[in-house]
Amino acid sequence: MTLCCTRSSTCHVFLSCLLLFGIVSCGKKEEGNVEKGPITVTAYLVEERDVPVSVEYVAQTQSSHLVNIQARVSGFLDKRVYTEGAMVKTGDVLFVMDKKPFEVQVQAAQAAVARQEAALETARLNLARVKPLAALNALSQKDLDDATGSYQTNFATLEQTHAQLKTAELNLSYCTIRSPLDGITSSALQQEGSYLNISNSQLTTVSALDPIWVNFSLSENQVQHFDDQVAAGQLIVPQDNEFEVKVIQINGKIFPHTGKITFKEPHFNPQTGTFLIRASVDNPDGYLRPNQFVRARIEGAVRPHAILIPQRAVQQSNKGQFVWVITSEDKAEFRPITVGDWQGEDWFILDGLKSGEKIVLDGGVVLRVGDSVQIKETTKDKESQEAAPKEDAV
């Protein structure tokens, strides 16, 4: 009797468990059939507008006028007058050579001129006496010819001695070596007391700092890409190609003075695979020094009727890049796009989007075609209010 009751109780427990399991299972199935709500996203309003663009290149500064200061005569270096690394003005004395040998040469040349002037005067007086006597046939024609020849020879010799005097005076003036321009000096290459000749004549250099040149290079592909965009009307350049050049210093700050492109190398450099471009930048305070590495930002070009969207809105599939477009029914639409150049953190869109459309900016990772979306916030093109950042490549 007891055994039967035990078996009956066990059966009741088993049936209760089965019933409970069925109820739970039915509940889960019903929960799985519940439709998911709209996905919250941040939207971006696509706007078509003319976008100023700029490009940046690694550049190096160069003195616009560098002069090697050299001794023009041989002799001993007496003293260095300037302070190494200091700014100098045109005409400032840099070095002085021993003048004594050259002063002696000037004195000797002056004496030679005086002696020859006396000889010329004697020849002139003699010719003055011979001429009237020869006219009266008191002296022969030979006597007149000799007097005339002596005068002309002494005149030519006087001219020669004058030239020798000028040479001696020039050599003496070369003993005082001055700066030919305003600029900054480098270290002295020769020490006081050194004997200077043709083999060690260079003394220092003076480099002009205002204006200063900023050199950068464009690859052949960059030049071709730029020309193609201009030809296709995708890029409008300033009149007469008057691009504005801004210098970005090593600390990221923009140099206060701007410049213009003044030279484009017409020949392709096969060793570097680039074309050299040079800009001239005002540098009145001499803050920029030659051979510094900076970045040159070139501004002035405009992309007409351009569409620019943040890069994070663009996604990648096995078929290429795409964005999620929000339809008028607040549904997610898959839209393939063709992207162009970068500009800061944004991307130019060449094909696939129209002005006025809304795309998903954030929250599109989990989207599927046809999903309902709820717009949390709509962002417009920030470039409408802010200055355009750099474009990574032309």
Closest among 38, 40, 42, 39 to 313, alpha carbons compared: 42
To which residue do tokens 């504005």 refer? 244
To which residue do tokens 């020669």 refer? 160
Alpha helix locations (H) across the chain? 2-32, 100-135, 141-173, 220-231
| pLDDT at 181 > cutoff 70 | yes
**Per-residue pLDDT tens over the stretch 317-374:** 888 999 999 998 989 999 999 998 888 788 899 889 999 999 999 988 888 998 898 8
Element (H, E) at 62: strand 48-63
**Predicted pLDDT at 319:** 84
Q: Which segments of the chain belong to CATH 2.40.50.100?
A: 67-97+177-207
Q: For residue 301, what pLDDT band results from cuts at 50, 70 and 90?
A: very high
**Predicted pLDDT at 24:** 43
List beta partners, residue 370: none
Candidate from 41-50, 84-93, 241-250, 381-390 with smallest mean pLDDT:
381-390
Closest among 279, 262, 266, 302 to 394, alpha carbons compared: 302
What is the C-alpha to C-alpha distance for residues 225 and 220, in angstroms, rounded to an integer? Answer: 9
Are residues 167 and 37 in contact, defined by beta-carbon separation less than 8 angstroms?
A: no
DSSP output for 333-372: EEEE-EEEEEETTEEEEEES--TT-EEEEES-TT--TT-B
φ/ψ of residue 326, rounded to 5: -95, 115
**Predicted pLDDT at 240:** 87
Read off the tokens for 318. 């096995």
Are residues 230 and 237 in contact, defined by beta-carbon separation less than 8 angstroms?
A: yes
Q: For residue 382, what pLDDT band results from cuts at 50, 70 and 90?
A: low
From 3.30.70.20, 3.50.50.60, 2.40.30.170, 3.40.50.10470, which CATH number describes the 45-62+211-384 domain?
2.40.30.170
| pLDDT at 131 > cutoff 70 | yes
Read off the tokens for 134. 């020869």
Q: Is 2.40.50.100 the CATH number for 67-97+177-207?
A: yes
**Predicted pLDDT at 11:** 40
Are residues 86 and 184 in contact, defined by beta-carbon separation less than 8 angstroms?
A: yes
Q: Which segments of the chain belong to CATH 2.40.30.170?
A: 45-62+211-384
Choose between 1 and 223: higher pLDDT.
223
Read off the tokens for 6. 């035990």
Closest among 68, 308, 85, 99 to 205, alpha carbons compared: 68
Read off the tokens for 156. 């030519």
Question: Mapping DSSP to helix (H, G, I), strand (E, B) and coil, where does residue 284 land?
Answer: coil
**Per-residue pLDDT tens over the stretch 3-56:** 344 444 444 444 344 444 444 444 444 444 445 678 899 999 999 999 998 899
Closest among 188, 182, 171 to 67, alpha carbons compared: 182
Q: Which segments of the chain belong to CATH 1.10.287.470?
A: 99-174
- Residue 158 CB neighbours (<10 A): 20
Candidate from 7-11, 120-124, 218-222, 310-314 with smallest mean pLDDT:
7-11
Mean pLDDT on 385-391: 44
Are residues 53 and 343 in contact, defined by beta-carbon separation less than 8 angstroms?
A: yes
**Predicted pLDDT at 98:** 96
Arithmetic mean of pLDDT over the chain: 86
Domain 99-174: state its class. mainly alpha
Q: For residue 102, what pLDDT band results from cuts at 50, 70 and 90?
A: very high
Question: Mapping DSSP to helix (H, G, I), strand (E, B) and coil, where does residue 173 land?
Answer: helix
**Per-residue pLDDT tens over the stretch 198-257:** 889 999 999 999 999 999 999 999 999 899 989 988 899 998 889 999 999 999 999 999
pTM exceeding the 0.75 threshold for the entire prediction? no
- Residue 313 CB neighbours (<10 A): 22
List beta partners, residue 186: none
**Predicted pLDDT at 30:** 44
Helix, strand, coil percentages (3-state) for the chain, rounded to 5, are: 30, 35, 30
